[in-house]
A and B are shown apart, each in its own frame.
Chain A
């Protein structure tokens, strides 16, 4: 057993952290919240050149051949700094389903261009039911000659407004179970009939509504097999839950650090407020959540990296982090007092993002249910 990262991994963490502090100060994060694109193409290009976008892509497809755990290290630092970029959606929702189910042609066509920063991917999954299970997939894809025609509306599609491709989760059959009859397509976002609009969310993180009106997609763009696409989505959801948790673990750490620092500076009754025991205990509770949360994520990320079954651990990590990212950032706002509630303050930025993070890849209704089943409770 070795619960520490390797020297190379620590170097990667430092490199990402140093880069983000320099390249993406909070002023820029806020600027990008108001920006139409919501990310910086220049920063994206540099990150591609540094090899981070293709970190988990095998070398034969132009990537770095890193592990899933390496990727979560990068995500943790991105969450700590808050990097507005289509990183998580491109890597988790683009690279992995292609690696998982793509044909050799698809891998050769898309992966090298993702790695070099040319192509941005995202997955169109959620619909009006808002549930992360197969029962929510109603968008239809109907065969027509050598093509499929897609009709329906997808919601909360991250960064769809600037993505080059969508991995669209469609219903091609009403099967015996909701999982049966789900098919994935790689859809070029410039295809006629696609309408995209940014949904006004409190995280301002460019979650989009994407309407498909008679969108024609060549059959060769099917990802995986007809009607058998749900396991690919399930893999994305599991990896996504861990990845989002890693990102959130970084966010929790940042909230905690800024709160402790502020409590030492802010003077009331002629003393720093850090000297008041009520606040000390709040900060101790935050610290426990931050350190504990990080390791439960590391465990799940390691299992995923090693290819071990980890549906339970992934859900446990996500559920823990969902609860405590919101809790830590809420206490962070509270400890800052009125200043913490303002638009210009970083702590409220994290608090808003915590809501977005806890919803992405499933809230605690979903993950607690997964854990309950894994614990052996009869359904």
Chain B
């Protein structure tokens, strides 16, 4: 057992941290909070700026096969995620770079790979994920939006929802029902489509912060070329299960929590309440230490996942564990941060907001990890049924 990185790895990791540290200096104030806060206005400009910096260095194609412009290892992807997480830097299209690219590499035809991978590496195309529907959330395989083949096209009708960032997306990938009579999980196909295709209507759904994050999308006779399919027809469910090729350590979110914890420590060291530094309050010391211990345990297990993935070994259910634990810690730290700030914990970015208002922002955004991409409860079901072999409860 050896938790040390090689010299080469240390150097790569440091370079990525250095670049993100520099980018952080250019971050518009009041935009703290990874991903979501950057979806609008000034934040989006900063996202694009960071993306270009990453493209220059080839960091959006880390661990891809060389023939598609890739370079680096799975560990490099982990370091990049760590650095961005720590400094809360956008610039990576989580859907295109994080999900679609590894899916295409694993399952798409050569033609599709050649067409779609290079624009992802160059941040020329922004993607959205068309999965959830009003009646297909956790039960994703219940999607009802149809894509019926007619000649060399699929014709899509139905509705998607909770589509994050669709208003900024050029293209979308989604699951559609291509065989309305087929058996569940063998009736869906994974299609790629241009979001400017006629027949697509997009309505914003405002997040509790008032930010435009989500969308609902209606499809009325939307024509999609049949060749824009990934994997076989009616076998799209399988394509969505190719998680093995994803970077699954969740280390970016863990590092965000680490840097937030550090900022909270700094706040406690600088802030007096009732004539005494918050840092000297035993209750606060105890609560911060308790979270720090669990965060460290979470981080070590995330590194275990990274190490196994880097060796092309199975990670078992550790990734689900880290997802659940990270989700819980995200919520707990957000609540603790706002609690420590007292009445100032509710103040948005303004004169009276400590630390650029990051804590009330986190208080509202902290559900991202525990609800999206399979809720914590679904993760626990999966662990129980497939990991522990317990009988299915439904």
Contacts and interface: CB of A to CB of B under 8 A. Distances in A.
A319 B292 CA distance: 10
B288 A372 contact: yes
B208 interface: no
A1 B288 CA distance: 29
B321 A291 contact: yes
B125 interface: no
B380 A378 contact: no
Nearest to B268: A377
Nearest to B308: A3
Given A291-B318, A316-B293, A371-B292, A274 B391 contact: yes
B179 interface: no
B384 A377 contact: no
Interface in A1-34: 1-6, 9
Candidate in A264, A365, A370, A378 with the most chain B CB atoms within 10 angstroms: A378
A364 B300 contact: no
A163 B289 CA distance: 36
B269 A372 contact: no
B279 A1 contact: no
Given A3-B308, A292-B297, A369-B285, A284 B269 contact: no
Contacts of B325: 288, 292
Interface in A256-275: 260, 263-264, 271-272, 274-275
Candidate in B4, B285, B384 with the most chain A CB atoms within 10 angstroms: B384
A283 B377 contact: no
Interface size band for A: 35 or more
Candidate in B266, B293, B307 with the most chain A CB atoms within 10 angstroms: B293
A320 B297 contact: yes
Contacts of A379: 279-280
Contact of B285 (A5, A276, A372): A372
Contact of B3 (A3, A277, A323): A3
B304 interface: yes
A288 B300 contact: no
B393 A288 contact: no
A260 B75 CA distance: 34
A302 interface: yes
A299 interface: yes
Interface string A298-338: 11001100000000010111011001000000000000000
Contacts of B391: 271-272, 274-275
Contact of B1 (A69, A260, A274, A365): A69
A316 B297 contact: yes
A281 interface: yes
A220 interface: no
B347 interface: no
A275 B392 contact: yes
B380 A377 contact: no
B285 A275 contact: no
B275 to A, nearest CB: 14
Contacts of B75: 1
A145 interface: no
A375 interface: yes
Contact of B294 (A69, A313, A320, A372): A320
Interface string B266-293: 1011000000010110001110111011
A276 B385 CA distance: 11
A228 interface: no
B55 to A, nearest CB: 28
Contact of B304 (A3, A264, A272): A3
B269 A377 contact: yes
A315 B379 CA distance: 30
Given A284-B384, A369-B289, A277 B393 contact: yes
Given A3-B3, A320-B297, A372 B289 contact: yes
Interface size band for B: 35 or more
B296 A280 contact: no
A378 B308 CA distance: 38
Nearest to A373: B285
B103 to A, nearest CB: 26
Contacts of A276: 393
Contacts of B262: 375-376
Contact of A287 (B265, B381, B383): B383
A296 interface: yes
A147 to B, nearest CB: 43
B289 A302 contact: no
B51 interface: no
B387 A364 contact: no
B314 to A, nearest CB: 13
B297 A368 contact: no
A3 B279 CA distance: 35
A358 B24 CA distance: 42
Contacts of A296: 293, 296-297, 300-301
Given A1-B2, A364-B290, A369-B289, A375 B265 contact: yes
Contacts of A372: 285-286, 288-289
Given A368-B290, A369-B285, A375-B289, A292 B321 contact: yes
A214 B392 CA distance: 67
A72 to B, nearest CB: 10
A283 B1 contact: no
12 contacts: A1-B303, A275-B390, A275-B393, A280-B388, A280-B390, A284-B388, A295-B300, A365-B286, A368-B286, A371-B293, A375-B289, A376-B265
Closest 10 CB pairs of A and B: A284-B380, A280-B384, A368-B289, A296-B297, A275-B391, A372-B285, A371-B289, A277-B393, A274-B390, A378-B279
